[in-house]
């Protein structure tokens, strides 16, 4: 039995030969949603030619060649029979360059699957947060903003980069907007997010109006971060009430490097192995993820509580100082100074 991770988890029949993973041919569709036909790999009306690659052999369908045909990165742990494949890079290109919001499906805290497309028809603020970040206390501030602007066709959608819904739930008391759980950080990968809190403005038609921006719903940690919530909140009000959009909205977020994509795949494997009780294997993949993306908070800091370390302790403070010394790098359009100017 193999475990295959994409934007979901599949446990399927397969085998490991010479440190390579192979799907049983009859398991390919269950694992990936794709079927192998004479014209290539097909999913619904979409078919991708094999480009001379032979996927099916005596051991089954090669996981690595399958990913190669689709043009996606993949990390394979043959010892543990698990692999993680990146989301379609064209989805991220669409979000970053073409400003098209990806159609992603995630569970809410009760496990009910929700598609992000169902929130179309209104101006939506997507707020990403995590229990390993002080921004978990910002949800009431975002609730106040939704209450203020709801009748004007505005809503908030929160996404938690967390593993356990019960750890998230206490921070949602009194929150009426949807809160979804992204265990494998699929939204982070699709939008090229490297930190929380990160917000994205999406219009009624599913277009990204303002891509990845650092923003806070309250001033609870303003002395620590140096970022006041007021300018960004006022910019949102101007967008909802008057249709005004900040000039920085025209900027394009820098895409992930290959190493950053691989870091996410290692992190995804670590989360799954931890859930299976393989703490040694999980720690190995979390460590590798941190090596590949040392200043990606959604990888390095997110791994701290999953490996028994305090995400608010001295290790975090040292990392924060190092990150600040490098200019606070992150994948987004707004530096701290730009966030302050959003309402100008």
**68 phi and psi, to 5 degrees?**
-65, -40
Question: Which residue among 65, 85, 105 closes a domain?
Answer: 85
Question: Which residue among 29, 62, 85 closes a domain?
Answer: 85
Q: Note whether residue 238 is domain-resident.
A: yes
pLDDT in tens, the chain (344 residues): 899 998 888 888 888 888 889 988 888 888 888 888 888 889 888 899 887 777 777 888 889 989 998 999 999 999 999 999 999 999 999 999 999 999 999 999 999 999 988 999 999 999 999 999 999 999 999 999 999 999 999 999 999 999 999 999 999 999 999 999 999 899 999 999 999 999 999 999 999 999 999 999 999 999 988 888 998 999 999 999 999 998 888 888 999 999 999 999 999 999 999 999 999 999 999 999 999 999 999 999 999 999 999 999 999 999 999 999 998 888 998 643 454 454 44
Q: Going by DSSP bridges, is the β-strand pair 82-85/2-5 parallel, antiparallel, or unpaired?
A: parallel
Same domain, 138 and 201: yes
Predicted confidence at residue 339, as pLDDT, reads 47
Q: Going by DSSP bridges, is the β-strand pair 14-17/20-23 parallel, antiparallel, or unpaired?
A: antiparallel
User: Among residues 82, 85, 86, 88, which one has the least CA distance to residue 20?
Assistant: 82
Q: Note whether residue 112 is domain-resident.
A: yes
Predicted confidence at residue 336, as pLDDT, reads 39
Predicted confidence at residue 338, as pLDDT, reads 52
How far apart CA 286 and CA 52 sit, in angstroms, is 35
CB 150 within 8 A of CB 218: no
How far apart CA 151 and CA 184 sit, in angstroms, is 34
| Residue given tokens 């939204």 in the structure block | 187
Q: Note whether residue 306 is domain-resident.
A: no
User: Among residues 217, 226, 230, 252, which one has the least CA distance to residue 332?
Assistant: 252
The domain of 121 spans 91-252+332-340
């Amino acid at each position: 039995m193999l475990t295959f991770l994409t934007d979901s988890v599949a446990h399927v029949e397969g085998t490991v030969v010479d440190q390579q993973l192979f799907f049983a041919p009859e398991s390919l569709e269950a694992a990936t949603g794709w079927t192998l036909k004479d014209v290539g790999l097909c999913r619904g009306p979409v078919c991708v030619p094999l480009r001379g690659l032979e996927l099916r052999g005596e051991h089954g369908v090669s996981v690595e060649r399958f990913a190669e045909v689709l043009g996606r990165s993949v990390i394979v742990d043959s010892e543990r029979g698990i692999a993680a494949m990146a989301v379609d890079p064209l989805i991220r290109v669409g979000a970053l360059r073409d400003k098209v919001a990806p159609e992603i499906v995630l569970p809410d805290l009760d496990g009910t699957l929700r598609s992000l497309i169902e929130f179309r028809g209104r101006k939506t603020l997507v707020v990403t947060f995590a229990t390993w970040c002080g921004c978990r206390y910002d949800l009431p501030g975002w609730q106040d903003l939704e209450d203020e602007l709801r009748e004007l066709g505005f809503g908030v959608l929160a996404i938690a980069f967390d593993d356990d819904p019960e750890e998230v739930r206490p921070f949602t008391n009194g929150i009426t907007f949807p809160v979804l759980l992204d265990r494998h950080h699929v939204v982070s990968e699709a939008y090229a997010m490297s930190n929380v809190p990160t917000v994205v403005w999406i219009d009624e038609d599913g277009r990204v109006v303002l891509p990845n921006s650092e923003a806070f719903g309250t001033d609870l940690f303003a002395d620590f971060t140096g970022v006041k919530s007021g300018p960004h909140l006022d910019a949102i009000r101007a967008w909802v009430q008057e249709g005004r959009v900040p000039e920085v909205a025209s900027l394009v977020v820098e895409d992930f490097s290959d190493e950053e994509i691989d870091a996410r795949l290692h992190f995804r494997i670590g989360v799954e192995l931890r859930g299976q009780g393989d703490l040694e294997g999980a720690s190995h993949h979390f460590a590798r993820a941190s090596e590949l993306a040392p200043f990606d908070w959604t990888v390095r800091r997110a791994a701290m509580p999953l490996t028994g370390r305090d995400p608010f302790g001295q290790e975090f403070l040292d990392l924060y100082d190092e990150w600040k010394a490098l200019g606070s790098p992150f994948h987004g359009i707004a530096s701290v100074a730009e966030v302050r100017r959003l309402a100008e």
